[in-house]
Chain A
Amino acid sequence: MATHLEMELSQLTSKVYRMADMSMEFIHNSVESLKNSDTKLAARVVESDSEMDRLEVEIDDDCIKILVTKQPAAIHLRMVLAFLKINTDLERIADLCTSIAKETLRLDGKPALKPLIDIPRMADIAISMLKKCFRAFSEKNSALAKEVLAMDKQIDELNIQIYRELFSYITESPHIISGALGLIMVSKAMERIGDHAKNIAERVVYYIDGINISHE
């Protein structure tokens, strides 16, 4: 028989997972909108950011309520603490995606500077990072969560590559500066999404093993 605490934690978990699913959609949709110059999709992404904000506040409130009224211990406590941080990371991811979608809106149907290849790749890596994090969380498999840490490096490398490429473009023809800067911003946002995913992986390891591996 599940205790009250376990029932409340299960509800909280469901909310966090919903937020995770939504942030994965955010990443996918924002990059997709940029890739296909799909302003409708971009507008939808920007709109649904408020839903993410609402969920974040709700999850924060739930966490605090559980901490105060149920006073969880050991793994339950770590779960709530991990959720508090994961929650923030997920919300930040959604914010970054919103800024990518806004870049699409700014272009207003014009195609991006060049066909996007590496940025969708970054998005795919970020999505699979998040997927892995939450799979690790469900299975309490810290080794899986640690795999995510290495994946962040791939995103970082892609970011540097894009930066270099765009830099050489700019030096060739200065009239594309605005477009190039937009893409650099998007690439940077993806890189930071990767960092947030990495943070989440670290929180997952903390939840499972009870050790803090950030800044190692």
Chain B
Amino acid sequence: MKTKKVRNKIILYSSFILIFMVFFFLWFITASVYQSHLGILEKEMVLKLNLMEHSNGPFASGKKAVLQEADRKFFTDISHVLGQRITVVDRKGKVVYDSDVRDISSMDNHRDREEIMNAMESGRGRSIRYSDTLGIDMLYVAKLSGDYIIRIAKPLYDINSSLTDIRYKIIISGIMAGIISIILVIYFSNKISRPIGEAINFAQIFSNGDFSKRIMNYSDDDIGTLQKSLNKLADTIVGKINSLLLEQKKLELTIDSIHDGIALIDTGRWIQIMNASFRRILDIDTDSARGVYFQVIRSSPLNAIIELSLESGQPGCREITLLNGTSCEILIIPISDYSGIQGILLSLHDITERKKIDEIKADLIGNMSHELKTPVAILKGYLETMGQYLGDRKMSMDILGKAIANVDRQNTLINDILKLNRLEKSHDFYMEKINLAEVVETCISLLKPKADNINLEITSDIRDLDRLFSCNRFLAEEVIFNIVDNAINYNTRGGKINIRTAESDSLITLEIRDTGIGIPRESLDRIFERFYRVDKSRSRDTGGTGLGLSIVKHAAELLKWTIDAQSDINGTSFFIRIKTA
């Protein structure tokens, strides 16, 4: 529905008032003019009657019973002079003379005429009647004079024409005044309604979300006050909105910065809140913040859990694995009020890392107990055998030697564990200036006899390292010794080990390459784990405690070196990257 405008209302009402006024004045003026005109006419006619009575002596006496011819003539003359109809009626109402009618006998009895009746009663009477004879309104005035009643009549030509004239003029001026007043009304109503329009316009713009506009020109009346109040209202609202937005922003930031995925889903299946972690964990890439959950979340187990929780309203905790391999712990907290469940709060905790660590821990304990138990079991076996052959000195010595070898192995293992522990726990390795080339040479010379046993050829070109580095001798030796030792252990008879360097920018890369059995791709990133062995049979053929590369990793970390490995069927390369700067 189109709303009515105040301006139009003003114009409409004032037009009504105006038209009413014009008609009222028209009626009032014509009525009063008519009345005064009539009064003057009547007075004049009464005077004429008086004059006639006065000048017609015999008639005036009223004693004569019969109208004389002289009287008739008198009336006829007067009638001519005055130009008015004169009628004489006797007391019985019979017309005895009429200036306009020759044959008076044909005329009706006038006794019941209003003016005659009045004249007979009070001596004078008048009336206005429509004359059939002349077809016009006539004013009759009658006067009792003796036994007769004299009546004169006047047609109301003049009065009617002058009234028409006046009416015409009033209508014309009324229309003119009307037009002028309507123009004025329009002008003024515009002036009044313009600020209202501005206020309405402002309110509409504001409610549509443009909070920057304000009313600029105040009008100087009540509407001005309204406008000021509106502006003030707008300011208050903007302030409130801003503070709410700030609060919301704070809340959003807080929720977004939580590492766990959090989402709020209402019973209408809409996601009301969803934080950044929730999107990250579930790979949600839609831009829109809201949506129906089953259109946003692409995981049927999770969606099934959500649907079930929305139906039942029961809290719960579940673990699921997503398609991208992420394991999640899902915590469901139903949100309800007195009228029942309103929605559920979903909390997703990424436990992939934890699961992996748990796995590694379990592996470690298994490996460590295995590694520690084996030499003890062997030792026990040897000692028992020795107990049986105590008398046989040669045999006893032989067994004793083997037992001691196993004790040595156990010792090495425990030493390695302790070493590793020390590397993990402490950071108090002081840095000194040492020549790394010397360190490498030392390691090679220490391992040379072992290599010679299986005809390994070790070649080295380490000129780039022949300078002073800030590092710790013990740690550097651990790194290089263990890698070269590994390269020997996992090499084939008659193989090669090549140690070389490459320098670029502020980085020296020391590559230790063997021609050994290689490491399968899937094991490459696990070889630095404690006790990890590529060969699951845990064969001791290659020797070692299974801690060597773990020690390397930790030592290198302390030296701020990075280590990685590449492997193919032709052998394995370890790269040690050392920063020179």
Chain A interfacial positions (CB closer than 8 Å to B): 10, 13-14, 17-18, 20-22, 24-25, 28, 127, 131, 134-135, 137-139
Which residues of B in the span 237-295 have a Cβ within 8 Å of any Cβ on A?
A: 269, 283, 285-288, 291-292, 294-295
In angstroms, how far is the closest chain B Cβ from the Cβ of A21?
4
Chain B neighbourhood of A25, CB < 8 A: 300, 323
In angstroms, how far is the closest chain B Cβ from the Cβ of A148?
14
Q: A135 near B269 (CB under 8 angstroms)?
A: no
Chain A neighbourhood of B292, CB < 8 A: 10, 13-14, 138
Q: A24 near B298 (CB under 8 angstroms)?
A: yes
Is residue B470 contacting chain A, with contact meaning CB distance below 8 A?
A: no
Chain A neighbourhood of B296, CB < 8 A: 138
Given contacts A14-B269, A25-B323, whether A138 and B303 have CB atoms under 8 Å apart is no
Q: B303 near A18 (CB under 8 angstroms)?
A: yes
**Interface residues of B, CB < 8 Å — how many?**
17
Distance A120 CA – B436 CA, assembled complex (angstroms)? 45
30 sampled A-B residue pairs with Cβ under 8 A: A13-B292, A13-B294, A13-B295, A17-B295, A17-B303, A18-B300, A18-B303, A18-B304, A20-B298, A21-B294, A21-B298, A21-B300, A21-B303, A22-B300, A24-B323, A25-B300, A28-B323, A127-B323, A131-B283, A131-B298, A134-B298, A135-B285, A135-B286, A138-B286, A138-B291, A138-B292, A138-B295, A138-B296, A139-B286, A139-B287
Q: Which residue of chain B is the closest to A29 with respect to CB atoms?
A: B323
Distance A24 CA – B324 CA, assembled complex (angstroms)? 11
Is residue B352 contacting chain A, with contact meaning CB distance below 8 A?
A: no
Distance A28 CA – B300 CA, assembled complex (angstroms)? 13
- Given A21-B300, A22-B300, A25-B323, 12 new contacts (CB under 8 A): A10-B269, A13-B294, A14-B269, A17-B295, A18-B294, A18-B304, A24-B323, A25-B300, A28-B323, A131-B298, A138-B291, A139-B288
From A13, A21, A137, give the contact of B299 (CB < 8 A).
A21
Chain B interfacial positions (CB closer than 8 Å to A): 269, 283, 285-288, 291-292, 294-296, 298-300, 303-304, 323
Q: 5 closest A-B pairs (Cβ-Cβ)?
A: A21-B300, A138-B295, A17-B294, A28-B323, A14-B294
Chain B neighbourhood of A21, CB < 8 A: 294, 298-300, 303
In angstroms, how far is the closest chain A Cβ from the Cβ of B324?
9
In angstroms, how far is the closest chain B Cβ from the Cβ of A208?
14
Chain A neighbourhood of B283, CB < 8 A: 131
Chain B neighbourhood of A18, CB < 8 A: 294, 300, 303-304
Distance A21 CA – B320 CA, assembled complex (angstroms)? 15
Chain A neighbourhood of B285, CB < 8 A: 135
Q: A134 near B295 (CB under 8 angstroms)?
A: yes
Chain B neighbourhood of A131, CB < 8 A: 283, 298
Distance A28 CA – B301 CA, assembled complex (angstroms)? 14
Chain A neighbourhood of B295, CB < 8 A: 13, 17, 134, 137-138
Q: Which residue of chain B is the closest to A136 with respect to CB atoms?
A: B286
Chain A neighbourhood of B303, CB < 8 A: 17-18, 21
